[in-house]
Amino acid sequence: MQLQVSKAQFKAKALEYLRDVEKDKQTLVITHAGKPVVEVIPYKKESDEDILKSLRGMITYYEDPNEPAIDPDDWEALK
């Protein structure tokens, strides 16, 4: 379920609304002139496995890290 409040309502009871988001795990949308401007969502801690999954495939592996990754003949700036 999603709760919507105006900026004025939120300002008057900000801590109460934030406690509700935390307790009920519901999303809060703050509006201005009836249009959504901010969404407050409950915090979800990622597991270590989720973090590792997001990093997979991002590391470049080099056979010999002391050798250049590109052939020096391919660099025009070195000629």
The CATH number for 22's domain is 3.40.1620
| Residue 78 belongs to a domain | no
In one-letter notation, the amino acid at residue 7 is K
Q: Which domain holds residue 32?
A: 2-72
Report how far residue 19's alpha carbon sits from residue 42's, in angstroms, rounded to the nearest whole number: 10
Determine the Cα–Cα distance for residues 39 and 3; give it in Å rounded to an integer: 10
Closest CA to 42 of 15, 57, 24: 24
Split into its structural domains, the chain has a count of 1
CA atoms within 13 A on the CB side of 54: 6
- Residue identified by tokens 């519901």 is 26
In a domain, 42, yes or no: yes
Give the tens place of pLDDT for each residue, 6-21.
999 999 999 999 999 9
Q: Is pLDDT at 79 greater than 60 in this prediction?
A: no
pTM: 0.58
With respect to residue 79, please indicate whether it lies within any of the assigned structural domains.
no
Q: Does residue 35 register a pLDDT over 90?
A: yes
Decide if 77 is inside a domain.
Answer: no
